[in-house]
């Protein structure tokens, strides 16, 4: 069985993080920006910080589960969580590390958008995260690169949205697109934290992007990050002293600071 927590988390709302629990979405309208790597490694940082954490994979590619060496228990199950009033708890799998569980995706998750439109439950994802928050202090959502009803539900469910961005002169424009998409789905959207991903300061365009956005956190382009898929382990597990591991730890500290500001 998955490890369970001391006491349930109470009443998360759109404008206030509860004293203990929070849902963090890793979202981008563009694929290939390191979103799944972010989700897997930030979940690791969360658990290392003492927060029992659920990594919920909402992307049909199933990358988050793979990075932890897990596969879905069957086909067609991930979508049923949304289409039927069934608890997602039965699909949760325990990882090899204490404090991190995964709710993996399968191909059926591709049908979720149409299903959500059909059933008309605009806060179905928010309700599910509230249920799961009884057992997890942090829920990390690995979101697909889409703009549809599922992404709108992510915005309604999240307490904080992390946006990985490629380091290019168009980074700020890409971020503005995400902000407009999020703002269009709710009147009181959660804070949005942009992060430059796969940053290589040996490249002029990357350095220009960093210089143009000096206050944005960064995650470097590094072999240690690429090894996550090979080792099927977070970077903090297989290369704990690497610069990449330290960058993810600093990013998580920034996330916790943002969550703390919301509680205040």
What is the DSSP track for 26-42?
E--SSSSSSHHHHHHHH
Tell me, yes or no, if the pTM score tops 0.85.
yes
CB 171 within 8 A of CB 132: no
Q: What is the dihedral of CA 68, 74, 78, 83, to 10 degrees?
A: -170
Q: Cβ distance 56 to 109 under 8 Å?
A: no
DSSP 72: -
Cα(82)–Cα(85) distance, integer angstroms: 7
Return the biggest CA–CA distance within the chain.
Answer: 51
* HSE-up of residue 201 (Cα within 13 Å, Cβ side): 6
pLDDT at 85: 66
Question: What pLDDT is recorded for position 135?
Answer: 93
Q: pLDDT value at position 14?
A: 38
Q: What residues of the chain score a pLDDT lower than 50?
A: 1-19
Residue with tokens 């509680």: 263
Burial class from Cβ neighbours inside 10 Å (0-12, 13-18, 19+) for residue 5 reads middle
Report the pLDDT value the prediction gives residue 12, as an integer from 0 to 100: 34
């Amino acid at each position: 069985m998955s490890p369970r927590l001391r006491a349930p988390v109470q009443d998360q709302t759109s404008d206030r993080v509860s004293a203990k629990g929070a849902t963090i979405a890793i979202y981008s309208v563009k694929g290939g920006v390191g979103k799944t790597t972010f989700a897997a490694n930030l979940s690791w940082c969360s658990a290392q910080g003492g927060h029992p954490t659920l990594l919920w994979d909402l992307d049909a590619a199933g990358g988050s589960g793979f990075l932890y060496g897990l596969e879905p228990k069957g086909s067609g199950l991930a979508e049923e969580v949304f289409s039927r009033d069934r608890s997602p708890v039965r699909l949760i799998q325990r990882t090899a590390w204490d404090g991190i569980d995964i709710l993996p995706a399968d191909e059926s998750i591709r049908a979720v958008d149409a299903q959500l439109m059909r059933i008309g439950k605009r806060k179905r994802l928010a309700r599910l995260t509230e249920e799961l928050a009884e057992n997890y202090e942090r829920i990390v959502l690995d979101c697909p690169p889409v703009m549809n009803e599922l992404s709108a539900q992510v915005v309604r469910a999240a307490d904080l949205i992390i946006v990985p961005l490629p380091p290019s002169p168009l980074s700020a424009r890409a971020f503005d697109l995400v902000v407009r998409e999020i703002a269009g789905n709710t009147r009181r959207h959660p804070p949005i934290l942009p992060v430059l991903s796969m940053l290589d300061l040996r490249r002029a365009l990357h350095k220009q992007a960093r210089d143009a956005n000096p206050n944005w956190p960064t995650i470097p382009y590094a072999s240690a990050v690429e090894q996550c898929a090979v080792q099927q382990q977070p970077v903090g597990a297989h290369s704990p002293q690497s610069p990449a591991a330290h960058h993810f730890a600093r990013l998580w500290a920034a996330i916790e600071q943002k969550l703390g500001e919301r509680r205040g």
